[in-house]
Amino acid sequence: MNGNQPFPLTGRQQLVYSSLETRNPEIASLYKTGVRIRADCATTGELYLAGFVVRTMINDLPEAFSLPTLSSLPLLSSKIADIETIWTKATDSKCRADGAWSGEIDTPLQKLLEALEGFFSWRKKQNPTKRQITADMFRRTDPSLLELPRDLRERPASRWLKLFGYFNKVTHRSTTSFEEFDENLRELEQIMLDNLYRQPSADLATIDAILAEETPDA
């Protein structure tokens, strides 16, 4: 595709793009770039490029609502690296012999156990924190700012985090297919349409017509 030519978004994609642009033009540009790269992919091996851009868009969208990005939270890999250092020292403990543990707890083993306790405590708190950021984001998309029941708040948040996980795996070259990628991208777009597109009800017939054109079996 000629890079000098404007990329033609479908009606559905234009609705998503416009909804994002009203909140953050840079995030809207990320979405459009991801869609364009996906359209240019000749092999599934190239999907990681599109996945990277889409993942970045998912990660950054909370900023449009004055919330932290998902990646601003401490990374699991860095926590594991810290524990690995302590584990290495603990293997020299007098309590460990022939691959087994026995005897009284000495200093190296004590530090390992404390580190593990701290890690699992952090891990237990971490997932709800990400869910809370995402749930708050969707709550703020509602202009009425009504306090919805917890299950209604967390349903789109759980789906959003699941999609973030999928595109993160694609970014790291996890095996996927065009069909799977497109299915996840379409679900992502639907969540954004459901939660970000806030226009007068007179526009609903136009939206329905656009979506019906892109769903042959509808």
The tens digit of pLDDT for each residue in 71-90 reads: 655 555 666 777 878 888 88
Per-residue pLDDT tens digits for 121-133: 776 665 556 777 7
The CA-based angle 73-110-78, given to 5 degrees, is 20
Can you tell me the mean pLDDT for 47-56?
Answer: 96
For residue 96, what are the contacts with CB-CB under 8 A and spacing of at least 6? Answer: 90, 109
| pLDDT value at 173 more than 60 | yes
- 54-75 pLDDT, tens per residue? 999 998 888 887 665 666 555 5
Q: Is the pLDDT of residue 197 over 90?
A: no
- pLDDT at position 147 is 59
Instruction: Evaluate whether 62 touches 68 at the Cβ level (below 8 Å).
Output: yes
Tell me the range of 2-6, 106-110, 154-158, 185-189 where mean pLDDT is highest.
Answer: 185-189
Q: What is the mean pLDDT of the chain?
A: 78
Can you give the pTM of this predicted structure? 0.63
The Cα–Cα gap between 61 and 65 comes to 8
pLDDT for residue 179 is more than 60: yes
Q: What is the mean pLDDT of residues 16-43?
A: 94
Hey, how many other C-beta atoms are within 10 angstroms of the C-beta on 23?
14
Burial class for 167, CB neighbours closer than 10 Å (0-12, 13-18, 19+): buried
Whether the per-residue pLDDT at 201 is higher than 50: the answer is no
The confidence score (pLDDT) of residue 134 equals 78
Give the type of residue at 189: E
On whether the CB atoms of residues 144 and 15 are closer than 8 A, the answer is: no
Q: From the CA atom positions of the chain, what is the Rg in Å?
A: 23
Q: Where are the domains of the chain?
A: 11-213
Task: Tell me what pLDDT residue 3 has.
Answer: 46
Angle of CA points 138, 186, 43, to nearest 5°: 135
Please report which confidence band the pLDDT of residue 113 belongs to, taking 50, 70 and 90 as the band edges: confident
| Position 5 pLDDT exceeds 90 | no
Confidence at residue 218, expressed as pLDDT on a 0 to 100 scale: 45
Q: What percent of the chain has pLDDT over 90?
A: 31
What pLDDT does residue 210 have?
52
The predicted structure's pLDDT at residue 169: 94
